[in-house]
């Protein structure tokens, strides 16, 4: 099957022994570098697109829990099914645009309440955390695959805690869930970046979606934590 990599031309004339040597010296294979480069390129575009959809819906209404969950799962499933097709890029933009759209009213509520500085702080912390964790995985080249069991168990715990917090309507439990998601999303960024550079993830569409969802969860969780500690929540 043809390997459709975003924004990469398979041009033999562009081959450089020097660049190949530097990559080998860096401990990252040529294929992994291509996946990493394509992933970051698509990730940047989807983040920008979701920022636009969020801005457009800042004064709008949230679609609701049920529509959000159904839309997210449906678009995520479609993206996984079409990951080896050009249509996978379309569903990736649809998914990230939809997630940005659902985030718009939340950000709008903070801005309307005069708490735009909390949004800025959450955005800054998210960017710093992403750059720092990604750099750690790339520079150290450590294999973080040993975290997979912890992440699987953590996901089930967080889902259970989230459902419990929803039915109990406990502010303390909601705060604990946000803290848990902050840690979980941070570890996911480290794990997913490691998977890319170690060759464990060779599909840049899936890698992009994984990193985007982690960044989204990290931002939303930090937003809730900062608002709670500032007394705005």
DSSP letters along 85-139, please? STHHHHHHHHHHHHHHHHHHHHHHHHHHTT-HHHHHHHHHHHHHHHHHHHHHHHH
Closest CA to 76 of 169, 186, 213: 213
Q: What is the pLDDT of residue 155?
A: 87
Query: How is residue 178 annotated by DSSP?
Result: H
pLDDT of 102 reads 95
> Which segments of the chain are extended strands (E)?
none
Q: How do the pLDDT tens digits run along the chain, 233 residues long?
A: 444 443 433 343 343 444 443 443 356 788 889 999 999 999 999 999 999 999 999 998 888 888 999 999 999 999 999 999 999 999 999 999 999 999 999 999 999 998 899 999 999 999 999 999 999 999 988 888 888 888 889 888 888 888 887 777 777 888 888 999 999 999 999 999 999 998 888 899 999 999 999 999 999 999 999 998 876 65
**Nearby residues of 39 by Cβ (< 8 Å), 6 or more positions away:** 196, 204, 207, 208, 211
Cα separation of 94 and 72, whole Å?
10
- What was the pLDDT predicted at 187? 93
Residue 232, pLDDT score: 60
> What integer pLDDT is reported at residue 26 of this predicted model?
53
Kindly report the CA angle at 128 between 125 and 129, in degrees rounded to 5?
Answer: 85
Nearest to 191 by CA among 126, 131, 136: 136
At residue 121, the pLDDT reads 96
What's the pLDDT at 126? 97
Residue 78 to residues 69, 71, 141, 167, 191, Cα–Cα distance (Å): 14, 11, 32, 30, 24
Task: Please state the separation of Cα 218 from the chain's center in Å.
Answer: 8
In terms of Cα–Cα distance, which of 129, 132, 187 is closest to 155? 187
Ramachandran assignment for 6, one of left (phi > 0), alpha (psi -120 to 50 degrees), beta (any other): beta
Spell out the domain ranges in the chain. 29-230
Q: Are 88 and 79 in contact (CB under 8 A)?
A: yes
CB 85 within 8 A of CB 133: no
Contact 196, 35 (CB under 8 A): yes
- 89 φ, ψ (degrees, to nearest 5): -65, -40
At 230 the pLDDT is 79
Question: Dihedral sign, CA of 155, 160, 163, 168?
Answer: negative
């Amino acid at each position: 099957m043809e390997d459709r990599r975003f924004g990469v031309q398979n041009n033999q004339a562009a081959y450089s022994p020097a660049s190949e040597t530097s990559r080998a010296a860096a401990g990252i294979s040529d294929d992994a570098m291509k996946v990493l480069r394509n992933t970051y390129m698509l990730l940047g575009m989807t983040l920008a697109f979701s920022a636009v959809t969020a801005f457009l819906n800042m004064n709008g209404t949230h679609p609701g829990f049920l529509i959000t969950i159904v839309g997210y799962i449906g678009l995520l499933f479609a993206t996984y099914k079409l990951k080896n097709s050009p249509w996978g890029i379309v569903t990736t933009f649809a998914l990230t645009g939809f997630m940005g759209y659902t985030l718009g009213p939340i950000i709008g509520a903070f801005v309307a309440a005069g708490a735009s500085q909390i949004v800025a702080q959450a955005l800054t912390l998210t960017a710093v955390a992403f750059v720092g964790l990604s750099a750690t995985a790339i520079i150290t080249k450590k294999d973080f695959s040993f975290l997979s069991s912890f992440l699987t168990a953590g996901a089930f715990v967080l889902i259970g805690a989230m459902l419990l917090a929803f039915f109990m309507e406990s502010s303390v439990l909601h705060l604990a869930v946000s803290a848990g998601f902050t840690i979980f999303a941070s570890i996911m960024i480290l794990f997913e970046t490691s998977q890319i550079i170690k060759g464990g993830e060779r599909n840049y569409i899936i890698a992009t979606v994984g990193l985007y969802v982690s960044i989204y969860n990290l931002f939303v969780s930090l937003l809730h934590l900062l608002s709670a500690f500032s007394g705005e929540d």
